[in-house]
Amino acid sequence: MARPTRPRCRPATWRPKADALASLGTTGVWQGLFDESIDYLNRSLAVARPAGDLLCESRALHALGLIELLRGRLDQAAEYEQLALRLFRQLADHTGEWRALNNLADVLSQQGHHQQAIDVHQQALALSRQIGDPIGESYQLGGLASVYGRLGRLDHAIAALSEALVLWRQTHDLRAMAFALSDLSAMHLKLGDHDMATSLSREAIPIVRQLSDLSRLTGPMRQLAEVLTATGEVSAADELVARLEECGSVPAHDGE
């Protein structure tokens, strides 16, 4: 049976409560409080749906999709993001649309559907460029680079990530820059271009020194330390490993 169309009106007496619950739920996601976040987001949906508040409903669904993606529950994540995507498009919320597409592409890639993931990222990339959203553009380029990397298509991965790096330099997103420089240096090293790998890893060092917390960059920073060691930048690699140990991101060395 076709799903009934809900009114688009958003009564002012309902919206603050739905907004507040959705905000609490979204904040908890990045603190790892998944169960608490799910409770807030479901309560937000319970308020937003009877009120016809499609905006709050779409945001809550998108946040629930992200939680399931982070938990590795891919089918559930895809279901939530498809529902959110439908509402974002109905609302002409293009930022929400590319974010939902981005998560759907991540789901597809993790399920092994790499070409479908590329297609969805490219769809979101075209949308981001159409609306002039450099953040969305950089997300999709970074996502494309990850998928190409999994497929071993390093030339394509380098091209996409290099484009993303240009945007992250413009927006001065230090974390994203550190991630990109680490991945690019590793890919160039794998291709045998030691000079470029060295140049990129050296560029990453002062950026990493500006970051107070590396806990969410453990993988890229361990990779960067390996590249620095391989290219002869041993002291910089040791400094980075020490920083990671301080963050509790890697086991302490036993003296070897």
DSSP 212: S
- Which residues are within 8 A (CB) of 173 and not within 5 positions of it... i.e. 6 or more apart? 138
DSSP track, 77-133: HHHHHHHHHHHHHHTT-HHHHHHHHHHHHHHHHHTT-HHHHHHHHHHHHHHHHHHT-
Cβ atoms of residues 160 and 125 within 8 Å: no
User: Where on the phi/psi map is residue 179: left (φ > 0), alpha (ψ -120 to 50), or beta?
Assistant: alpha
253 pLDDT above the threshold of 50 = no
Can you give the length of the chain in residues? 256
Contact status, residue 25 vs residue 38, Cβ threshold 8 Å: yes
DSSP state of 216: G
Task: Note the CATH number of domain 172-248.
Answer: 1.25.40
Give dist(CA 131, CA 143) in Å, integer: 19
pLDDT tens-place string over residues 74-95: 999 999 999 999 999 999 999 9
Average pLDDT over residues 193-198: 96
**Does residue 128 sit in helix, strand or coil?**
helix
Give the pLDDT confidence of 121-155 residue by residue, as tens digits: 999 999 999 999 999 999 999 999 999 999 999 99
Confidence of residue 216 (pLDDT cuts 50, 70, 90): confident
Determine the pLDDT at residue 16: 62
- Going by C-beta distance under 8 Å and a sequence separation of 6 or more, which residues neighbour residue 67? 29, 34, 37, 38, 41, 77
pTM equals 0.84
Domain boundaries along the sequence of the chain: 172-248
- Ordered DSSP codes for 79-94: HHHHHHHHHHHHTT-H
